[in-house]
């Protein structure tokens, strides 16, 4: 996949915002809110939106590309005999096989939009711990400046242990993706996020909250194992907090959305300074390894051919490669990702054909996990 992020052009490339968060944290409502905020600007800056949740029944915004137009998740569950999570993951795997088309559509619109927004499946691990989630994230990030918006349900994060679990999860995503990261404390209309900022900036404030929260001492008044563990982990997290931006947002009232975009715009620089050079290094390493492996295979092939020809000169004389005899089964030209803003939607489409080489083949690919 060609990187275009480093190319120079008069217009800045759009920033991709990948929204990730626990089930019910408010991802879809947040996407709807930032979408309406961008529309309300003068001049308006309508974003390009991708819905990657195949199981959602309703999204409160108009997606440009919707996974549900390509893969019927109910059908995937039936065909592959899967439960709901396996169905979502397999649907995402199937969609990922077409992601080059998605990127093409996004890149075609790169000159007209400033923001590309990805709404991810409700079950966070389906996106963050699956191969398809990584492929999608890497593909997008190698093509456009990208930032992860980690949506947190603030009212449900006021207990120190829950707060820490959520932060550890965020930390794991940050280190996995290595992308610029914005923590979005959502639902501030219900619960202001000051306590969270306090805990993130003042280590002792968190320790105090931990010590005074119920269940942290055993019957003899000693700190519990859990309490000691959380104490140690909060030290680790202290380092992690330095690497990210945090904003409080209410997706219902729109409070904090402006600050969110300031954080996103500031992340562009971070992406260019930290992520891109690392991406280039990784690419170069991969290219060198590939070249070395190719050269090695070629040397071995030539050596085998020489021995073969010496042993069987008659066969060697007939051994000619006929390019016309090659099987031409390259069906990559097939297009079936739909940009709703450009094409009419032809109806529900289930792309399972590529998973089976012939109709009665009894295989279950791609498997979840
Ligand atoms: N009060 C308040 N409620 C919110 C806010 N954002 C989202 N909600 C509510 O939180 C619930 C979950 O919101 P969704 O946007 O569906 O959350 P989600 O993370 O997309 O949910 P899944 O994809 O199903 O995991 C809904 O009832 C929303 O109305 C907010 O800022 N304030």
In a domain, 141, yes or no: yes
Q: Is residue 338 part of a domain?
A: no
Q: Write the CA distances from 22 to 138, 150, 353, integer angstroms.
A: 21, 9, 32
What's the CA-to-centroid distance between 159 and ligand 1, angstroms? 20
Which of ligand 1's atoms lies nearest the C-alpha of 253?
31
pLDDT on residue 358: 52
Task: Give me 181's structure tokens.
Answer: 């990261």
Q: Tell me which residue has its CA closest to atom 22 in ligand 1.
A: 122
Residue 48 lies in a domain: yes
Residue 345 CA to ligand 1 center (angstroms) comes to 28
**Using CA atoms, how far apart are residues 352 and 366, in angstroms rounded to an integer?**
10
Strands (E), 69-124: 115-119
Radius of gyration, alpha carbons of the chain: 25
For a mutational test of ligand 1's pocket, the pick from 20, 21, 29, i.e. the residue with the most ligand atoms closer than 8 A to its C-beta, is 29
Q: How many structural domains is the chain composed of? A: 1
**Would you state the torsion angle of the CA atoms of residues 75, 78, 79, 80, taken in this order, to the nearest 10 degrees?**
120
C-alpha span between 33 and 249 (Å, rounded): 10
- Torsion, Cα of 52, 57, 63, 65 (10° steps): 50
State pTM to two decimals.
Answer: 0.80
Minimal-distance CA residue to ligand 1 atom 32: 187
Decide if 204 is inside a domain.
yes
Instruction: State the helix-helix crossing angle for 99-108 and 131-143, rounded to 10 degrees.
Output: 30
Provide the phi-psi class of 256: left if phi over 0, else alpha when psi is between -120 and 50, else beta: left
User: CA 140 to CA 120: how far, in whole Å?
Assistant: 14
Ligand 1 geometric centre to CA of 156 (Å): 12
| Tokens at 168, concatenated | 């550890």
Residues in the ligand 1 pocket, defined by CB under 6 Å:
21, 23-29, 53, 122, 186-187, 189-190, 250-252
Name the residue among 175, 185, 148, 121 with its Cα closest to residue 368.
121
Question: Nearest C-alpha to atom 28 of ligand 1 is from which residue?
Answer: 26
Closest residue (by CA) to atom 9 of ligand 1? 26
Q: Which atom of ligand 1 is nearest to the CA of 21?
A: 19
Q: Assess contact for 153 and 26: CB atoms under 8 A.
A: yes
CA–CA separation, 366 and 89 (whole Å): 9
Residue whose CA lies nearest to ligand 1 atom number 6: 26
Most ligand 1 atoms within 8 A of CB, residue of 26, 28, 85 to mutate: 26
Q: Which residues contact 252 (CB under 8 A, 6 or more apart)?
A: 29, 33, 187, 189
Atom of ligand 1 at shortest range from CA of 29: 15
Ligand 1 centroid distance, CA of 184 (Å):
13
Q: How far does residue 54's CA lie from ligand 1's centre (Å)?
A: 17
Q: What is the chain's pLDDT, residue by residue, as a tens digit (369 residues)?
A: 444 444 444 678 999 999 999 999 999 999 999 999 999 999 999 999 999 999 998 889 999 999 999 898 898 899 888 998 899 999 999 999 989 999 999 999 989 999 999 999 988 888 888 889 999 999 999 889 999 999 999 999 999 888 988 999 999 898 888 899 999 999 999 999 999 999 998 888 888 888 777 656 666 666 677 777 887 888 888 888 887 899 999 999 999 999 999 999 999 888 988 888 888 888 888 888 889 998 998 899 888 888 888 888 777 777 666 666 665 555 555 657 778 777 666 665 555 544 544 556 555 544 444
Domain assignment present for residue 245? The answer is yes
Closest CA to 234 of 257, 273, 266, 208: 208
Q: Which two tokens stand for residue 113?
A: 């939009």
Residue 59 CA, chain-centre distance (Å), reads 19
Residue 296 counted as domain residue: no
C-alpha–C-alpha distance, residues 167 and 246, integer Å: 12
Please tell me the distance from the alpha carbon of residue 316 to that of residue 307, in angstroms, as a whole number: 11
In this prediction, residue 238 carries a pLDDT of: 82
65 with 50: CB under 8 angstroms?
yes
For atom 3 of ligand 1, the residue with the nearest CA is 187
The closest-lying atom of ligand 1 relative to the alpha carbon of residue 249 is 31
Q: What is the CATH number of the domain that holds 182?
A: 3.40.50.300
Q: Does 314 map to a domain?
A: no
| Residue 249 phi, psi dihedral angles, 5° rounding | -135, 145
Whether the CB-CB separation of 117 and 36 falls below 8 Å is answered with no
Domain span at residue 199 reads 15-217+227-281
Query: 239 is written with which tokens?
Result: 């380092």
Sheet of strand 245-248: strand arrangement: 65-66, 48-51, 115-119, 15-21, 146-153, 181-186, 245-248
The secondary structure element, H or E, covering residue 249 is none
Could you tell me if residue 7 is inside a domain?
A: no
The Å distance, Cα 253 to ligand 1 centre, comes to: 13
- For the chain, first and last CA: distance in Å? 24
């Amino acid at each position: 996949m060609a990187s275009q992020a480093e190319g120079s052009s008069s217009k800045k490339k759009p920033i991709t915002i990948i929204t990730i968060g626990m089930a019910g944290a408010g991802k879809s409502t947040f996407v709807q809110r930032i979408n309406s905020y961008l529309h309300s600007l003068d001049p308006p800056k309508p974003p390009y939106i991708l819905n990657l949740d195949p199981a959602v029944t309703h999204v409160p915004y108009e997606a440009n590309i919707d996974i549900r137009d390509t893969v019927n998740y109910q059908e995937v569950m039936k065909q592959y005999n899967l439960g709901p999570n396996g169905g979502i993951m397999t649907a995402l795997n199937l969609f990922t096989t077409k992601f080059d088309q998605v990127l093409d559509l996004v890149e075609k619109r790169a000159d007209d939009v400033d923001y590309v927004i990805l709404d991810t499946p409700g079950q966070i691990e389906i996106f963050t711990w699956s191969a398809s989630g990584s492929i999608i994230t890497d593909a997008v990030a190698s093509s456009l400046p990208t930032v992860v918006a980690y949506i947190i349900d603030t009212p449900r994060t006021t207990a120190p242990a829950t707060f820490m679990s959520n932060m550890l999860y965020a930390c794991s995503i940050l280190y996995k993706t290595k992308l610029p990261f914005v923590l979005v404390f959502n639902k501030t209309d219900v619960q202001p996020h000051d306590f969270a900022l306090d805990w993130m900036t003042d280590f002792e404030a968190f320790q105090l909250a931990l010590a005074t929260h119920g269940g942290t001492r055993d019957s003899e008044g000693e700190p519990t194992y859990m309490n000691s563990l959380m104490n140690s982990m909060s030290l680790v997290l202290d380092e992690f907090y330095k690497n990210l931006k945090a904003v409080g947002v209410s997706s219902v009232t729109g409070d904090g959305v402006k600050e969110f975009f300031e954080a996103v715009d500031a992340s562009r620089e971070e992406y260019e300074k930290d992520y891109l050079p690392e991406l280039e290094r990784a690419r170069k390493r991969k290219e060198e390894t590939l070249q070395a492996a190719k050269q090695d295979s070629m040397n071995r092939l030539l050596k085998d051919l020489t021995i073969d020809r010496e042993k069987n000169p008659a066969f060697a004389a007939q051994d000619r490669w006929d390019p016309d005899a090659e099987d031409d089964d390259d069906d990559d030209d097939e297009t079936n990702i739909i940009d709703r803003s450009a094409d009419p939607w032809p109806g529900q489409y289930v792309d399972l054909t590529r998973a089976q080489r012939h109709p009665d083949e009894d295989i279950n690919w791609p498997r979840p996990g």
